[in-house]
Amino acid sequence: MKKLRSTERQRPNLFATLTALAVIGSCGATTAWAQNYPVTPQQRATAQQTAQAGVPLSELSPRAPDEYTVKPGDTLWAISRLYLLRPWRWPELWGMNINEIANPHRIYPGQVLYLDKSGGRARLTTRRGGVSGDGGTIKLSPRTRFDSLAGMALPTLNPSLIEPFLSEPIVVDANTLDSAPRIVAGNDSRVLLSRGDRAYARGNPETPLVEVPGPVQHYRIFRNATPLKDPGTGEILGYEAQYLGKAQLQRGESTTIETVDDKDIITVVPASIDIVASREEMRAGDRLLPEPPRQLLSYAPRAPSTQVDGRIISVYGNAVQFAAQNQVVAINKGTRDGIDSGHVLAILKNGETILDRTGARKETIKLPNERIGLLMVFRTFEKVSYALVLEINDTPKAGDFLVNP
């Protein structure tokens, strides 16, 4: 809790705030209020270019309000969608505020947004009527209040929708799991393991599972590396490992030496681990990968700067064929293709190939690809990325096409 006492407070920079504050930590918490994330050069350039022009009124959503107060639970995407037909163009709408505030990394519920539609162009400002006034200072009566800063930052998306994917390294190469430490047994001859159970694990002879100086070591547990195949080329882009849970190393591997008939017999003692989280039950043979360091990822919804011609590989989940809104899909584009977190792509339904029986003779034809929704990339690997389906008017599935929005 932080105690605030003030007689004046600067208005947040709307453009840069809604850009850089859309930060979600690997633990799923919105922690941007404590960070100093810069606006990217591309976003700043776009904002500066449109600082005076705004966007055409034709780009506004029919339901765009003249005045809107930011509420707890709002997201950058939801506000963008409220104002714009093409919400990834938000820097152009909010660009005029880029030079008003020195620190663009904070926005709070209660911020009032005003829509200025003068001169046939739309601009979003933090001042009624777009008047510059006194430089953005609000006079407040002296008061003392207690409030928590945690959770006040405005995220791009609802964190609960994607938080499991922010820190789970779920795409690996062909040999990663094969060479990883493995569970060999459970305590008290347990076959299936879950949270709270003790288990035993071993590494390879060359890389045993041992303790190292420093904090307690944590691992994630995986099974069944399923190949992710490009729907167009057939290339294996990576292997999606089934995430099962987390473990904590309590004691590393060791050996004991026992003398029998004047011979020294060396016996391996496996490492001891405790299961501290479980999504599914674990068993002998499941693999351990070190928990990756915490990361803070900044999302700014935007169209890719280069042409994208991609496909949906799969819908995340066991035996799931079709994707719903707010569901995660794997796509066949990654960092090697210039894909980055925040890129918005349009989903095109792959038109069916049918037999036309209506003419003088039967003929095979392919129905056109129809646009059915949007998705946003939030987790990238070299050849594969994960994206959240933002909105749909039909049901996306594996094989559907992805293009610039």
Tens digits of residue pLDDT in 178-195: 889 999 999 888 889 999
Query: How many domains are there within the chain?
Result: 3
Q: What is the pLDDT of residue 282?
A: 93
> Where is the domain boundary, 290, 324, 353?
290
The pLDDT value given to residue 13: 36
Report residue 212's pLDDT band, with 50, 70 and 90 as the boundaries.
confident
Most confident of 67-71, 221-225, 336-340: 336-340
Residue 116 sits in the same domain as residue 229: no
In a domain? residue 336: yes
- pLDDT category, 95, cuts 50, 70, 90? low
- Is residue 287's pLDDT more than 70? yes
Q: What angle do CA 57, 98, 80 make, to 5 degrees?
A: 45
pLDDT at 71: 84
User: Who wins on pLDDT, 142 or 138?
Assistant: 142
In a domain, 158, yes or no: no
Give residue 224's pLDDT: 81
Task: Tell whether 169 and 261 lie within a shared domain.
Answer: yes
147 lies in some domain: no
pLDDT for position 400: 93
**86, 200: one domain:** no
Residues 244, 276 within the same domain: yes
Position 51 in a domain = yes
Tell whether 261 is covered by a domain: yes
In the structure, what pLDDT confidence band is assigned to residue 250 with cuts at 50, 70 and 90?
A: very high
Which range marks the domain in which residue 336 is found?
309-403
For residue 317, the model assigns a pLDDT of 67
Mean pLDDT computed over 145-163: 57
Q: Is the pLDDT of residue 142 over 60?
A: no
Which has the higher per-residue pLDDT, 229 or 113?
A: 229
Entry pTM: 0.70
Question: Is residue 270 pLDDT above 70, yes or no?
Answer: yes
End residue of a domain, out of 125, 149, 175? 125
How far is 40 from 19, CA to CA, in rounded Å? 9
pLDDT at 164: 65
The span from the CA of 183 to the CA of 97, in Å, is 55
C-alpha to C-alpha distance for 28 and 14, rounded to whole angstroms: 24
- In this prediction, residue 2 has a pLDDT band, given cuts at 50, 70 and 90, of very low
Q: How confident is the model at residue 92 (pLDDT cuts 50, 70, 90)?
A: low
CATH of the domain at 371: 2.40.10
Domain shared by 88 and 183, yes or no: no
Among the ranges given (195-199, 208-212, 295-299, 372-376), the one the predictor scored with the smallest mean pLDDT: 295-299
Residues 249 and 315 both lie in one domain: no
Residue 200 vs residue 20, higher pLDDT: 200
